[in-house]
Structures are given as C-alpha cells and as structure tokens.
Amino acid sequence: MSRQLRVAIVGAGPAGIYAADILTKSDADVTVDLIERDPTPFGLIRYGVAPDHPRIKEIIKALKRVMSNDAIRFFGNVAYGDDLKLEQLRTFYDAVVFATGARRDRDLDIPGIDLHGSYGAADFVYWYDGHPDVSREWDFQPHAESVAVLGVGNVGLDIARILAKTADELLVTEIPDNVHEGLRKNAAKDVHVFARRGPAQVKFTPMELRELSHSPNIDVIVHPEGFEFDEGSMDAIRASKSQKLVVDVLTKYLATEPSGADHRIHIHFCQNPVEILGEDGKVVGLRTEVTELDGTGNVRGTGEFQDWPVQAVYRAIGYYSDQLSGLPFDTHAGVVPNDGGHVLEIDGSPLPGAYVTGWIKRGPIGLIGHTKSDANQTVTMLLEDFEAGRLEAPEQPDREAFDRHLDSLGLHYTTWEGWEKLDEHELGLGESHEHQRERVKVVPREDMVRIARG
C-alpha cells in the first residue's frame, strides 16, 4: 500500500512499546501514537516491579531507546474509555492496538476475604511503587507481627520481601518518602507464604527466590511439610531448567539452619487457604486445608485443616484486566476475546481495526520477555490486514489532527519530552536527598503533569 499506516496503541507498558518497536522496524511506512492513562510510560515496569529490583528495571533503558524513535509519540494522562472511545480513535488511525495489561487483583472467594487486614497484592504494590491513584498511606496494623501471603508467583515473593525487610534497607531504592515512612510502621516479623501445591509447581523465578536471602535481616525458612514430589512434579522438573533451579534453591533453604535474624520468611507447601478468620471485623488468623499431590502435579484436599495465627493477609493469586469500553470481554478469563491478535466479536468475527497484545490478550502469565513474541504475532496480523486492504483509512490521518483533538477536549496530556523532564526531576531529587539516592519518585498525578508540561 502506498499510504502511510497510522496506528494507536492504548497502553504504554512493555507490551505496547514492544508492539510500537516491531511496527516501526517493519517495511511499512508507519507512525505510532502510544496512549496511556498514567502520566508516565513503562506501565508495570514503573508501577508493578518491586523497588529493590534494579536489574529488572534495566529494561527501561531498552524501552527508552525504542521511544526515542521519531515515528513513535507518547500521550500520557489520557484515559481510554473516559477521554476517548474506539470510534473516536478510528477517526485518526487505521488500527488501534490495546495493550492495557492487567491492573487489579483477581478475586478470591473465601469467607473472611473482606475483613479489615485482608489486602489485595495490586493495591499494596501500587502503594509501595508510588502510583498516583492510590492512597499515600498504608494501613499497617501495629500488632500485625505475623502476616500471610497467598500465592507463589513473583508478586507474592515481592510482597513477602518488602514486608520482611526493614524500611531503611529500602532507602537505597526509588521509593517515595511517604512509602519509607509508611514501612517504618510495619510490625511484621514473620511472613508466611502459602502454596496450594508442591515445590515443583511454584511460579516464581530462580532469581526472585534467591533474592529473598540477600538481606542480612531475613531468614528464609522452607517447611518440610508438603515438600514432596509426585510423577507429575518430576516431569515438570525434567521439562524446565528454570523449574529445576527453583527446586534446587528451595532444597538449599530447606537444609539451612536459621541464623536468628529478626525477620523470617516462611514458605509452606500443600496448604490451600479456605477461610480468613476474624474477630470484631479484623483478621486474626488463616485457615488452610492440607492438600496432597495426586500424581499429576495437581492436588486434592485431605480434609485436614490447620489454623495459622496471622494478623494480616495479602492475596497474590494473579492480576485481572479491566473491561474496555466498546470491546467484548471474557469475564471468566479476564481477557478480550481474540484469535491471537484480532479482537473478536461475540459471533467470532473480527472487530474492524481493533487488536490486542500482552496480558489483555493472553491473561497475566509469562515474564516480560514473552511480551515480545506476543507483540510480534499481533503486529504480523495487523500488517497483513493493511497490505491486503482490509483496514479502512482514517478520516483525519495527519499526525497533528490527534493533537488538536486532545487540545479541543481540554486534556492536560503529557508527552515523551515531558517524561524526560519528569525523569530528570526525579533523578535530581535523588541526588539531592540526604541519603544520595538514584531517584525519588514524584507521586501526586497533578505534580507529575505540572513538571512534565513545564
């Protein structure tokens, strides 16, 4: 096709930025606009990765290189569904790719889940990562010395580690000052992580697991109950080098005597949470059913129950995507129905010009690296549709038309140049901080927007 391809990508996390990179490296004459509800780019890299993970955040450097491409623009502080609808975007773009990820906690339907002291992982992660749309305060219970974390993915380990570390240990990171002050009120001494299945079925990575023991203030204690392997477990270990490494690390923890550190992370296997116990509306315990491996790597209940005296419960059983305006939604899977790229209507036909990539497409599974191949699949479909003439040309294809539209709505949007100003400002705050930190995040949305807009 001889005309320029115009693409909007809703969501400027890794999924959206990778899609933009693949599009602009293709043979097509294409320009891409990334539209993001946060004032900043990078999505869960900024607001979903624990602040003591500098190696993981190195990926931001690669994403910055992508965003420096003149064919890619960034529009932050613009909320799809509130500020813009699909039909409006189609006025300016041949295609719209949704890469909105998964931003909230998956529900856990057990008695006591709504008790005071029962929390979702996403809320806690957004708080300690300084997301502008959550409270500046966290409701640490002064008596909560024993805490439960439900789930054995990387997010569960992040939460366990943040709860077990001292506040001052995190001063070397980019946490905002309000988070440091909040963590000083954290009374947790024992953090209990519960896995419904065995050690061969956990979902965290070897690096995450090793990092639990990097703090001199933490002992990692793997409990022998439930530390078992069936044939399905052995198959999983043989099939995955990463899973074998995880089991090796767990085995080392199991054999290590505690050093007497002030804080402890306990890992329990074959314990299925069935009820959060309460008194006077507050969490006072967790009840689990002991499970046993069934030979396939799955588990069955034994009918034996155990009560754990904990004063707070954090559920980290997975994220869940928000339904998007104008798009169909699979409420069970928490994704937009798709065939690997195209958004599919209820009758199975493609919604013209609409595509998905990332967690809104496949669910909150896989690591950040998996997002590249996912984006490549979606972009391939989009380019094939464009070359075949299946995309309807936009009414206003020039790049400045979208800018004028945002201005007409009175939106205080941010740009890539604005992000660079905010980035420089946060680095400056870190340099001038009394503890000489690399960065200090600005938290209030209005402050971020003001700094970015100069």
Same domain membership, residue 338 and residue 283: no
86: domain CATH number?
3.40.50.720
Same domain membership, residue 173 and residue 271: yes
Q: Based on the structure, what is the number of domains in the chain?
A: 2
Same domain membership, residue 232 and residue 173: yes
Q: Please tell me the predicted confidence (pLDDT) of residue 35.
A: 98
The residue segments making up the domain with residue 23 are 5-103+321-413
Q: Please tell me the predicted confidence (pLDDT) of residue 59.
A: 85
User: Per the structure block, which two tokens stand in for 423?
Assistant: 């980035």
153: helix, coil or strand? coil
Judge whether 300 and 291 are in contact, CB under 8 Å: yes
Same domain membership, residue 306 and residue 262: yes
| Residue 453 maps to a domain | no
| Residue 420 maps to a domain | no
Same domain membership, residue 237 and residue 133: yes
Residue from 156, 191, 160 nearest 319 by CA: 156
* DSSP letters for 287-301: EEEEEEE-SSS-EEE
Q: Please tell me the predicted confidence (pLDDT) of residue 434.
A: 79
The pTM for the full model equals 0.94
What is the identity of the amino acid at 55?
A: R
Same domain membership, residue 279 and residue 136: yes
Same domain membership, residue 12 and residue 89: yes
User: Per the structure block, which two tokens stand in for 183?
Assistant: 């963590």
| Residue 439 maps to a domain | no
Instruction: Tell me the torsion sign for CA atoms 405, 23, 339, 105.
Output: negative
Average pLDDT over residues 427-438: 86
Length of the chain: 454
Q: Please tell me the predicted confidence (pLDDT) of residue 57.
A: 72
**Is the confidence at residue 357, as pLDDT, over 60?**
yes
Same domain membership, residue 357 and residue 294: no
**Is the confidence at residue 1, as pLDDT, over 70?**
no
| Residue 146 maps to a domain | yes
Q: Please tell me the predicted confidence (pLDDT) of residue 122.
A: 95
Same domain membership, residue 297 and residue 162: yes
User: Per the structure block, which two tokens stand in for 301?
Assistant: 């209940």
Residue 403, judged by CB atoms within 10 A of its CB (0-12, 13-18, 19+), counts as middle
Beta-bridge partner residues of 6: 31
Give 132's pLDDT tier (boundaries 50, 70, 90): very high
Q: What is the pLDDT of residues 365-405, one digit of tens each?
A: 876 767 899 999 999 999 999 999 999 999 999 999 999 99
Q: What is the pLDDT of residues 23-52, one digit of tens each?
A: 999 999 999 999 999 999 999 999 998 999
Q: Please tell me the predicted confidence (pLDDT) of residue 426.
A: 95
Q: Please tell me the predicted confidence (pLDDT) of residue 96.
A: 98
Same domain membership, residue 299 and residue 212: yes
Same domain membership, residue 76 and residue 173: no
Per-residue CA distances from 391 to 5, 299, 441 (Å):
10, 48, 41
Average pLDDT over residues 91-100: 98
Average pLDDT over residues 302-319: 97
Judge whether 304 and 226 are in contact, CB under 8 Å: no
Q: Please tell me the predicted confidence (pLDDT) of residue 64.
A: 94
Residue 195, judged by CB atoms within 10 A of its CB (0-12, 13-18, 19+), counts as buried
Q: Please tell me the predicted confidence (pLDDT) of residue 374.
A: 92
Q: Please tell me the predicted confidence (pLDDT) of residue 189.
A: 98
Beta-bridge partner residues of 292: 300
Same domain membership, residue 92 and residue 146: no
Cα gap 192→222, rounded to integer Å: 10
Of 382, 397, 413, which residue sits at a domain end?
413
Q: What is the pLDDT of residues 134-177, one digit of tens each?
A: 999 999 988 999 999 999 999 999 999 999 999 999 998 999 99
Average pLDDT over residues 117-133: 96
Question: To which residue do tokens 């004459």 refer?
Answer: 29
Q: Please tell me the predicted confidence (pLDDT) of residue 376.
A: 96
Other Cβ atoms less than 10 A from the Cβ of 354: the count is 24
Cα gap 99→80, rounded to integer Å: 11
